[in-house]
Amino acid sequence: MANQLNKSTGSTPSEQYLAGLCENTFLKLWSYPNVFRDQGRKNGGDGKELCDLLVVCGNDVIIFSDKSCEMTDSGKADLDWSRWYRKAIDKSADQVFGAERWIRKFPDKFFLDPQCTHPLPISLPAPENLRVHRIVVALGAKSRCRKELKGSGSLWLKPSINGSNHCDPFHIGNIKPEKGFVHVFDDVTLSIMLSELDTITDLVNYLSWKEEYILSNKLSLAEGEENLLGEYLSNLNKKNQHDIVLPPGYDQLVVQKDNWMSVRQSPEFLRKKRADEISYLWDDLINEFCGHIFGGTILGNPDYTTDDHEMILRVLALESRFRRRTIAEALREALQKSKTERENILWRLMVSKENPDTAYVFGLFPEFQDDHETYRLFRRNYLSDYCQVVAYKRRKLRLIVGIAMEKDQSKKNSKDIVLFESPKNWSKEMIAETEEMQNTLKIQNQENLKWSYIQSNEYPEPQINPQLINRKIRRNERCPCGSDIKYKKCCGRPQ
């Protein structure tokens, strides 16, 4: 049984709001408000706060600095902006860069409490592998910005502004180009970014894309970052990645206000949101394991540290929202099928073209009458052996994640998870051991491994209910394609 882990929930209302958003996006194990460093504790005092929130997942580290200060209205926009910018953005950016310096210099000296007695439970990446994403959360300018720019109240992105030249009210450029790129989220865009890009991978992909796009001088102006996000989500490049490809003859992009409103109300986007609902089954599964880690009730190898458990769960957490949807669909189908096969263990193996070196093995077990502890040990060992055989049969796989649970999910049941990392070269001893496992598990040939290859579209095509094809659909009815909006605004729109 492991020790319980406790972390801050934020010390101010704005920090608490940020912490709640980040825990939903990054999940509990990878999001830490109010992290401290032990600098200045020679006389037994408290450590210094590193940043308002730190996200650590693999090689990606996101540093948040949060500042909430209402912009005064003296009637002079230039003066009010310059004062607010210095307090809310410029100083916060300094805190972010200070935190980054400390992280690169002392990656093992971070704590969850001011007394620096509880170290960060997961390790930071080595400095040479570190990918830092810097975010300033600047709150308090929404009303004034909306009044002056007549938009949503979000700050506008204008990359031609650099450093100390931020004299154009409510426009953000490259804040400190000599140190590195800083993203600024405000009253409007903070919740949009962390709710629409609500996985680590989706947000990091956007932040990296945006930084490269701006530094490549491809963006002239975005009238609110939410509108840039809408354009990004609506477009794919030749590699099927979200991107904004400029048409021939155009050197820079201008994104106008109200673009985000148009995107989020589109039938395509609404169908995507409906299709994504099943994906949160994956989030619930991760959170269940994380809850046991924080509660000290995680079972498994007694020698495993929190880092060991985190490494396994990180594979699940790094899945994008779209990938979570496809994996959750495969799991749901297996659970439905298991209702008709109650006596035997049902296995489902899932791999996708988007991530062909990682496979998921779902083992759905009937309830055993044995002692619960004996049953769990049997199940974990069985699952681990099965994953090893899968790796042996499919040598191109690098990671095999095994998840075991009871078939009956109508009540709260236990779950087990294992990770098998396939070696580049299988030794004779390991091959002999695996073939013995294969015989024991009665997996004699390739056909015994039933794979699910999930192919889907991030933005699903309309699926019209066949029962409605032969009758007239009224203009104000909910569209039968599943977008959940009126027919006249969806599939019934004039083309």
pLDDT for residue 6 is more than 70 = yes
Instruction: Report the C-alpha gap between 15 and 34 in whole angstroms.
Output: 9
Least confident of 129-138, 170-179, 198-207, 349-358: 349-358
Is position 270 within any domain?
no
Indicate the average pLDDT of the chain: 89
Per-residue pLDDT at 11: 86
Tally of domains in the chain? 3
Residue 10 exposure: Cα atoms within 13 Å on the Cβ side: 18
Q: Which of 265, 300, 324 is the last residue of a domain?
A: 265
Least confident of 78-92, 163-177, 335-349, 429-443: 335-349
Is position 3 within any domain?
no
Least confident of 91-105, 337-351, 387-401, 412-426: 337-351
pLDDT for residue 324 is more than 50 = yes
Mean pLDDT in residue range 59-63: 97
Confidence band, pLDDT 50/70/90 cuts, at residue 1: very low
Domain identity same for 85 and 208 = yes
Contact 307, 123 (CB under 8 A): yes
Domain identity same for 309 and 386 = yes
Is position 1 within any domain?
no
Q: Which residue has the higher pLDDT, 43 or 197?
A: 197
Domain identity same for 349 and 487 = no
Is position 271 within any domain?
no
- pLDDT one-digit tens code per residue, 30-39: 999 999 998 7
Three-state SS sequence of the chain: CCCCCCCCCCCCHHHHHHHHHHHHHHCHHHEEEEEEECCCCCCCCCCEEEEEEEEEECCEEEEEEEEECCCCCCCCHHHHHHHHHHHHHHHHHHHHHHHHHHHHHCCCCEECCCCCCCECCCCCCCHHHCEEEEEEEEECCHHHHHHHHCCCCCCEEEEEEEHHHCCCCCEEEECCCCCCCCEEECCCHHHHHHHHCCCHHHHHHHHHHHHHHHHCCCEEEECCHHHHHHHHHHCECCCCCECCCCCCCCCCEEECCCHHHHHHCCHHHHHHHHHHHHHHHHHHHHHHHHHHHHHCCCCCCCCCCHHHHHHHHHHHHCCCHHHHHHHHHHHHHHHHHHCCCCCCCEEEEEEECCEEEEEEEEEEECCCCCCHHHHHHHHHHHHHHHHHHHHHHCCCCCEEEEEEEECCCCCCCCEEEEEEECCCCCCHHHHHHHHHHHHHHCCCCHHHCCEEECCCCCCCCCCCCHHHCCCCCCCCCECCCCCCCEHHHCCCCCC
Q: Which residue has the higher pLDDT, 299 or 200?
A: 200
Is position 139 within any domain?
yes
Per-residue pLDDT at 288: 93
Q: Which residue has the higher pLDDT, 427 or 367?
A: 427
Confidence band, pLDDT 50/70/90 cuts, at residue 166: very high
Per-residue pLDDT at 230: 97
Domain identity same for 258 and 286 = no
Is position 73 within any domain?
yes
Domain identity same for 216 and 90 = yes
Is position 2 within any domain?
no
Q: Which of 216, 234, 265 is the last residue of a domain?
A: 265
Q: Which of 265, 291, 312 is the last residue of a domain?
A: 265
Domain identity same for 410 and 466 = no
Least confident of 22-36, 91-105, 320-334, 402-416: 402-416
pLDDT for residue 190 is more than 60 = yes
- pLDDT one-digit tens code per residue, 345-383: 888 898 877 788 999 999 999 877 678 888 888 999 999
Print the domain residue range for 228.
13-265
Instruction: Report the C-alpha gap between 198 and 279 in whole angstroms.
Output: 11
% residues pLDDT > 90 (the chain): 65
Domain identity same for 316 and 179 = no
Domain identity same for 252 and 362 = no
Using the Cα atoms of residue 462, residue 468, residue 471 and residue 472 in order, give the sign of their dihedral.
Answer: negative
pLDDT for residue 482 is more than 70 = no
- pLDDT one-digit tens code per residue, 433-474: 999 999 888 776 544 566 666 667 888 887 665 555 555 667
Domain identity same for 282 and 378 = yes
Contact 175, 93 (CB under 8 A): yes
From the number of C-beta atoms within 10 Å of its C-beta (0-12, 13-18, 19+), residue 311 rates as middle
Domain identity same for 211 and 315 = no
Domain identity same for 434 and 400 = yes
From the number of C-beta atoms within 10 Å of its C-beta (0-12, 13-18, 19+), residue 137 rates as buried
Residues found in the chain: 495
Per-residue pLDDT at 407: 86
Per-residue pLDDT at 466: 53
Is position 395 within any domain?
yes
Domain identity same for 331 and 421 = yes
Per-residue pLDDT at 443: 74
Q: Full-prediction pTM beyond 0.95?
A: no
pLDDT for residue 84 is more than 90 = yes
